[in-house]
Amino acid sequence: MDVKIQKPLSRFMKKLDRLAPQLTENFAEIQVLDRKAREDEDKLKRICGTVGSSQSRSPKQKRDQHEERHRQLMKILDEMEESCKRKLELASTSYETVDKYINDLDKSYFKFTQNLSAPMDNKRSNQKASGSGRKKKRKASEMAETDGTATESLEFDSPLVEMPVDPNEPTYCYCHQVSFGQMIMCDNKTCTIEWFHFQCVGLTSTPRGKWYCDNCKAKIKRGRKPSAPM
C-alpha cells in the first residue's frame, strides 16, 4: 500500500485503540452501579418486611420505628435515583463517544476514497500532457507533487460529518434536540421538559444535591413548590 495512504490509516487505527478503554471504564462503572441497585433493592425489601412486626410495642415506639423506617427508605430511594442518573449519563457519554468515532471514520473514508482516485486522475493528466512540451510536463509534475503533499497531510481530526437524525427519536431540553453529550434531569417530578443538555443550562459537571431547571426555579420563586406526581 502507498505510504501516503497507509500513514493516515495508521493514525486513525491508533486513535481507535483509545476507544475500547474509554468504553470499558464506563461499562465497568455501570456494572458497579447495577450491583449497588440490586443491594439497595434487597434493603428495601428487608425494611418493608418489618412493617407490622412490632404489634406489642407502645404507640410511641411504633411511631418512632415508623419514622426511622421512613427515613431509611427515603435515603435508599435517593441513592437509587442518583445511581440511575449516573448510569444514564455514562450510557449517553458512551453513545456520543462511539458516534464521534463513527463520524470520524465516515469523514476519513470519504477522504480515503478521494485519495485512491487521485493517482488515476493524475496519471490521465500526465498522459494528456506528455506531448505538449517540457513546460506542460513540468506543470503536470508539479500538480502531482501538490496532490501528493495534500494526501500526506491528511488528518482525521477534521470537523465531524453531519449525520441524519431519526425523526422518531425523542427530543429534550430547551433546544428541542435529541439526546447527546452529558445531560441532567430536573428534580421536579412534574417538569414538562425533564432532561437538559449540560451546555444548554451552563453546566460543566454534575451539581450536588437537587437541581431544578429555570422553569421550575421560577415556580419556586413564585411560592409554588414543585409538586410530586399524583
Q: Are residues 107 and 7 in the same domain?
A: yes
Residue 124 lies in a domain: no
Q: Are residues 7 and 87 in the same domain?
A: yes
The CATH code of the domain that includes 197 is 3.30.40.10
The predicted structure's pLDDT at residue 143:
47
Is 48 marked as a binding-site residue?
Answer: no
The answer to whether residue 87 scores a pLDDT higher than 70 is yes
The answer to whether residue 148 scores a pLDDT higher than 90 is no
Are residues 129 and 139 in contact, defined by beta-carbon separation less than 8 angstroms? yes
Is 84 marked as a binding-site residue?
Answer: no
Tens-place pLDDT, residues 88-123: 999 988 888 888 888 777 777 777 777 666 655 555
Q: Are residues 107 and 194 in the same domain?
A: no
Report the domain count for the chain.
2
Q: Are residues 109 and 190 in the same domain?
A: no
Whose CA is closest to 156, among 188, 93, 109? Answer: 109
The answer to whether residue 149 scores a pLDDT higher than 50 is no
Residue 159 lies in a domain: no
Residues 6+ apart with CB under 8 A from 120: none
Domain of 8, in residue numbers: 3-50+60-115
The predicted structure's pLDDT at residue 181:
83
Residue 160 lies in a domain: no
Q: Are residues 7 and 89 in the same domain?
A: yes
Residue 89 lies in a domain: yes
Residue 133 lies in a domain: no
Is 175 marked as a binding-site residue?
Answer: yes
Tens-place pLDDT, residues 150-198: 333 334 444 444 445 566 778 899 998 888 888 999 999 889 999 999 9
Residue 127 lies in a domain: no
The predicted structure's pLDDT at residue 157:
43
